[in-house]
Structure 1
């Protein structure tokens, strides 16, 4: 039989076979687009098994099986990738009208590569400054810098958590922590125990534990107040880790006592586990691959084992004191269905990281701001030294202003938390913008807090006075607040602990800790940076891996007389 051929020497049958491979690649893209396969088995079938079977079409037209395999996979994958790229940058894509870098539209891999450098919060800010309030940061993801997006996205009728959490918290885990729940009803049910654990009456119980740990810190630092340089970043990190162990499990923290030689090495495990967790959040399919590679993510696995051991130890030991664990395990028998041990383990790991790391980083930020601003230090000290201020109804307004201003410039979670429209909803309006189902979105806190439309003048500067009444602002800073500058202070745009049903449940405990620690430190010691310390290195060394990693904070402490 005669087979026609082209000028390139390809037979008609070969051309038909190649066309079939191209068509198969396009169908594979359609499957990914519509069904969003996530499991390793699905990936293997679509990306490897299908072209492997189709390679039989080219065997008669090539010089061997190996050549047929290479050509088949090349044509299939090139067709698939080309179809994906062209669709994502085409006017047919649901997010086509939103601006953003071309590489971000093509793949989330580009954004992930930048995020792994630890400066994603800065990149978000740069994108918003270039492209505006809504930026396309991924093929199917938007970032908002708009106060009007907060409640539609995060309020009582907002969106649940997005697929970012599918990668960060693996689906293989029987129970997810509260922070990662994507089902609004399940989140509301689980949140009840957390609300009881951090109620006002519970905070009174925990204050005894917090005071004891702060006393331990001050006594340890007093021994170092004879000219020795102290890295407060480490000491405050150890302090908050011990506090969260006490608040969560009644006892068990020994980070300060071991001064970094913790036998469980929890501090190191938390630090080392976060970059991989961030990467798996941006690329959720990596979470499944991670399960198949036992050598990958050792620190992440080790930390989860540590949390499990702490939960089991506390459950076995019991306690006479009310702690967070007693609420989460429902020792009072309030819930109709008692929580499982896996649920408590998952939430225990959450409490250690979320409670310790966010508070310690914020405390270090506050101290860094105070020590580089003599005027702030001078105004804060009399309020801390006033014994009536700590017990009056007015409280400590300047200290609270300092805390809030530090949280504005460096929120506890710099880049916010991803959300997505509820599955089956079809999508959701966020202000004038429609976010279709299958799209993720985030309100970028770091960018929002530095927007001059919400905080002016000088939104990038540390000015605690902006949180005081206008009369005090003008008295203390007449050049800033009494001159020609337009003063804007929109607290609706201040969301350092998020808002709505998924806001930070430990917010009140965090504020209590920060107030007590700062009062203790500045009441007992005079503080200054180590000679030669490059002040700007603190911000330069700050790394955003969702959980912020920080550098050294070398300080000289001198005991205050009287």
Structure 2
């Protein structure tokens, strides 16, 4: 017994000494020791992980930049940059692009690689090359009649729902974008608009994304991740099998259709005859649907919230839309792209409610320089969009909704417009940005054209943007009840 007690004591003492050693090293001898940041964050990654788990990481980054300046040490081996030029230096593309960090993109470890999570530049380049034609302007314009069909159905359903009381626009925006993206990705929709509900597969996918913050926080500790990740993989096997059972028949059905000008067609050509890659085909289709729908729906909800919180801006947008069109048939992708105030409203929503708010974390594979600052090898670096887009040094009235800042208003002439990269930049920017902009502009134009929109007495109807919880990869969003009155 005494030997066991001695062994336990030795283990505890060794562990304590190692922790003390790591803290002292991180504070005084680490290559990043000279960079400013809070004491506990410089000493350990635990405060970073706790912020992710609490859902405050993006907001904390903004506060820390305000206190410590444009370069902050958020964790022992991590620097955050709040400088417009950092986009070029970190995500510039080509050989200058700093690689994605597996600490962020390696979760969950049991999923096959896809276009969003792969850290392999070669594999990403092949996927990007294959998928790009489906996301081109020409391809998406060819799909505009299909997109218009779902938007028209949404308007019909909203017209009926509006007569029954307030409408939760957060859900209805999800319905329409999920119906559109599912049709574009796998050849059929889940009929969310018709059923007034989300398909179980969509619910499972959305809910499955919420623990990503926890998994990312866990992945910061290699020993713990090595032990727990295999266990999580075993636990998740049932859900993965259920997910694949729901989506695989749709993908197989789409494969039988042959050539079709949609988002997945180029990927089918890439994988044709490679049965072993069905899992990767499903993973990429799921990513296209999830990333494409959730982000667009979130921004549509945010811009609606910001407009009803600012009635003067809503009146100006309403006047622009209704003076531009005399019938709904005139509302086309080309036409709405020429509505400057509508475009500016969506840009301002993207600034105030960026997706995801968190950075695309990279890790330096050699000594490099970022915005003139020498950065050692093996340093995690990132730009936190929420913090960058609300920096008082870069934007006038940074926390207020002013679409005019994107319309050459003299009050905002000194805004750092070059900092605004809502779809990121470089070779890993958002491949679906053209689709997202077409969807958001068309849907918002139709809603404003067909309905008068007002805030309700429900507390959820006010200041929606600042009430949402950030789960690091996604936002955990609440309802947005609004009063819709059909325009006769």
Normalising by structure 1, we get a TM-score of 0.78
What corresponds to 2:423 in structure 1? Answer: 497
Residues 1:193 and 1:210: Cα distance change in structure 2 (over 3 Å): same
Q: Work out which of the residue numbers 430, 452, 463 in structure 1 matches 2:392.
A: 452
Q: CA deviation at 1:263?
A: 3.8
Matches for 1:87-486 after TM superposition, within 5 Å: 87-90=25-28, 92-156=29-93, 157-170=96-109, 172-173=110-111, 175-260=112-197, 262-264=199-201, 266-267=202-203, 269-284=204-219, 285=222, 287-294=225-232, 302=239, 305-306=242-243, 309-317=246-254, 318-319=256-257, 321-330=260-269, 340-385=277-322, 386-387=324-325, 395-422=338-365, 426-456=366-396, 458-469=397-408, 473=409, 481=411
Q: Larger relative contact order (C-alpha < 8 A, sep ≥ 6)?
A: 2
Tell me, yes or no, if structure 1 residue 86 matches structure 2 residue 24.
Answer: yes
Contact 1:383–1:389 under 8 Å retained in 2: no
State the SS of the aligned residue for 2:301.
Answer: helix
Instruction: Say whether the 8 Å CA contact 1:311–1:348 is kept in structure 2.
Output: no
Distance between the aligned counterparts of 2:49 and 2:441, measured in 1? 36
CA shift, 1:164, in A, is: 2.9
Deviation at 1:261, TM superposition (A): 5.8
CA 240–437 in structure 1, closer or farther in 2 if over 3 Å, else same: same
Distance, in Å, in 1 between the alignment partners of 2:308 and 2:278 is: 45
Larger radius of gyration: 1
Q: Which of 67, 91, 107 is the equivalent residue of 2:5?
A: 67
- Over 3 Å counting, the alpha-carbon distance change for 1:123 and 1:361 in structure 2 is same
- Output the CA distance in 2 between the equivalents of 1:327 and 1:339: 17
Please tell me whether the aligned partners of residues 51 and 57 of structure 2 are also in contact (alpha carbons under 8 angstroms).
Answer: yes
Offset of residue 107 of structure 1:
2.3
* Deviations 1:464-490 (CA, angstroms, capped at 9, x unpaired): 111114xxx36xxxxxx3xxxx73133
Q: 1:102 and 1:396 mapped to 2: Cα distance?
A: 49
- Cα separation, partners in 2 of 1:447 and 1:296, compared to 1, 3 Å: farther
Higher helix share: 2
User: Cα deviations across residues 130-159 of structure 1 (Å, max 9, x unaligned)?
Assistant: 111111111211111111211010002121
- Consecutive unaligned residues in structure 1, runs of 5 or more: 1-62, 475-480
Change (3 A) 1:103 1:258: farther
Instruction: Give the alignment's TM-score, normalised by structure 2.
Output: 0.90
Change (3 A) 1:275 1:467: same
The 1:138–1:307 alpha-carbon spacing in structure 2 relative to 1, beyond 3 Å, is farther
**Is the CA contact 1:163–1:440 (under 8 Å) kept in the aligned structure 2?**
no
CA RMSD of aligned residues (A): 2.6
Residue 470 of structure 2, aligned match among 535, 539, 544: 544
Query: Does the C-alpha gap of structure 1 residues 496 and 543 become closer, same or farther in structure 2, counting only changes over 3 Å?
Result: same
Gaps spanning 5+ residues in structure 2: where?
A: none
